[in-house]
Amino acid sequence: MIGDWLDIGPVTQIEPGTARTLPVEGGEEIAVFHTMRNEFFAIVNLCPHRRGPLSQGIVHGDVVTCPLHNWNISLRSGQALGGDEGCVPTIPLRVDAGRIYLLRAAVIAPREARAA
């Protein structure tokens, strides 16, 4: 079971209200978020609008505001909120004993197969 999940380090490496990045060779960079409500989320680090780096947006609740054009993206579903339409792939994440794990298959998954 451990093998299915990729240990990406302790929860303390991401300050609440911020995100950090995880480049994937041959794949899309992943942004890992820690919200101020102490939840963790992982999504592909590309805004569905103009591919802005979502990891650099302001986090409020479970939403990140893209730094390029202020699109609001749900960290939970990857969906664009408000009047905007689009969706960014999410990567299953779990926290156990103070460490963050990403579902290995989703980290290295070809994104085309995931696009809905």
Partner 1 sequence: MNATMTIEAGGSEAAMRQRLVVIGNGMAGCRAVEEILARDPQRFDVTIFGAEPRVNYNRIMLSPVLAGEKTFDEIVINGQDWYDDNRITLVSGDRVDHIDRDNKCVVAASGRTEPYDTLLIATGSDPFIIPVPGSDLEGVVTFRDLDDVDRMLAAADRGGDAVVIGGGLLGLEAAHGLSLRGMKVTVVHLMPTLMERQLDEAAGWLLKTELERRGQTILTGANTKQIHGIDGKVVGIELADGTRVKADIVVMAAGIRPATGLAKAAGLDVERGVLVDDHMVTSDPAILAVGECVQHRGLCYGLVAPLWDMCRSLADYVTEAPTGFEGTVTSTKLKVSGIDLFSAGDFSGSPGPDGELCEDIVMRDASRGVYKRVVVRDGKLIGAVLYGDTADGNWYFDLMRQESDVSDIREALIFGQAFASGGALADPNAAVAALSAEAEICGCNGVSKGKIVSCIEGGAHSVDAVRATCKASASCGQCTGLVESLLSITLGGEVESGPKTMCKCTTFSHAEVRRLIVEKGLREMPEVMQELHWTTPDGCASCRPALNYYLLCAWPGEYEDDQKSRFVNERLHANIQKDGTYSVVPRMWGGLTNPRELRAIADVVEKFNAPMVKVTGGQRLDIFGIRKEDLPAVWADLNAAGMVSGHAYGKSLRTVKTCVGSEWCRFGTQDSTGLGVKIERMTWGSWMPHKFKIAVSGCPRNCAEATIKDFGVVCVDSGYELHVGGNGGIKVRATDLLCKVATEEEALEHCAAFIQLYREEAWYLERTAPWIERVGLDTVKAALFDDPDTVAQLAARFRHSQQFMQDDPWAQRASGDRADLHNHIATVRPLEMEMAR
- Interface residues with partner 1 (CB under 8 A)? 6, 8-9, 12-18, 20-27, 30, 32, 36-39, 50-53, 56-62, 65, 67-68, 70, 72, 76-77, 96-97, 107-108
Contact, 71 vs 80, CB < 8 A? Answer: yes
C-beta atoms surrounding 105 within 10 Å: 12
> Which of 3/115 has CB closer to partner 1?
3
Residue 44 amino acid letter: V
Nearest-approach distance from CB 47 to partner 1, in angstroms = 10
Nearest-approach distance from CB 54 to partner 1, in angstroms = 10
Give the phi and the psi of residue 13 in degrees, each rounded to 5: -75, -10
Nearest-approach distance from CB 85 to partner 1, in angstroms = 16
Is 99 strand, coil or helix? strand
